[in-house]
Amino acid sequence: MNPRAILALAGYATAITAANWMTNLYGVVPVGGGLTVTAGTFAAGAGLLARDVVQDTAGRAWVLVGIAAGAALTAITSPTLALASAGAFLAAETIDMAVYTPLRRHGWARAVLASNSVGAALDTLLFLWLAGLPVTASSVGGQLIGKVAWATVLPITTVLAVRQVHRAVPGHSLGT
């Protein structure tokens, strides 16, 4: 496995573990506008993006390794969250792959935006339910804003902006 794939896998497992650790420690927190999120929402959203990088650099099977590693590390502090997280990530990542893989050949940003939106919705609903946390308009809405807007749209916009700058500089290319 190449160094980029190893880093992507480590980042993915770390994002899963961090999301669960933060949720175990702080639970559900208000984020304004009457919305709430699990404390690990932003790390979970980053995990959805990291999943796509793992697939691109190491292959789909390694995504499952990342989920297992994240769940195993989470089980040290909360077996309940480990099971909820593994179940939600497994279901969400399966649907995410089904959307991401065929769209990837049409461009990275399009594939990530579509797949993370679908994956975030499924992950949110399943995780909240499996973890025994409130499944309300406030919690689902907050989670989706956190995962899709902050952890998907913002990084995609940043990557596209950096690519645009690099394209404007002769001799630089970041690829797609």
Q: Say whether 31 sits in a helix, a strand or coil.
A: strand
Do 140 and 29 form a contact (C-beta atoms < 8 A)?
Answer: no
pLDDT of residue 173: 56
Q: Is 123 a member of any domain?
A: yes
Give me the domain span that covers residue 27: 3-168
Residue 87: the pLDDT is 93
Q: Is residue 56 part of a domain?
A: yes
CA-CA distances (angstroms) from residue 1 to 35, 54, 158, 163?
A: 41, 11, 27, 26
Is there a domain that residue 151 lies in?
yes
Q: Are 118 and 103 in contact (CB under 8 A)?
A: no
pTM of the model: 0.80
Is residue 101, in this structure, part of any structural domain at all?
Answer: yes
| Domain-located, residue 173 | no
CATH code, 98: 1.10.1760
Q: Is the residue at 19 inside a domain? A: yes
Domain count, the chain: 1
Please, which residues have CB within 8 angstroms of residue 120's CB and are 6 or more apart in sequence?
45, 48, 92, 143, 144, 147, 148, 152
Q: Tell me which residues of the chain have a pLDDT lower than 70.
A: 170-176
Classify residue 12: in a domain, yes or no.
yes
Per-residue DSSP letters for 58-123?
Answer: H-HHHHHHHHHHHHHHHHTT-HHHHHHHHHHHHHHHHHHHHHHHHHHTT-HHHHHHHHHHHHHHHH
Give the pLDDT confidence score for residue 112 in this predicted structure.
84
Q: What pLDDT was estimated at residue 52?
A: 82
Instruction: Identify the pLDDT of residue 123.
Output: 87
Instruction: Tell me what pLDDT residue 84 has.
Output: 94
Evaluate whether residue 130 is within a structural domain.
yes
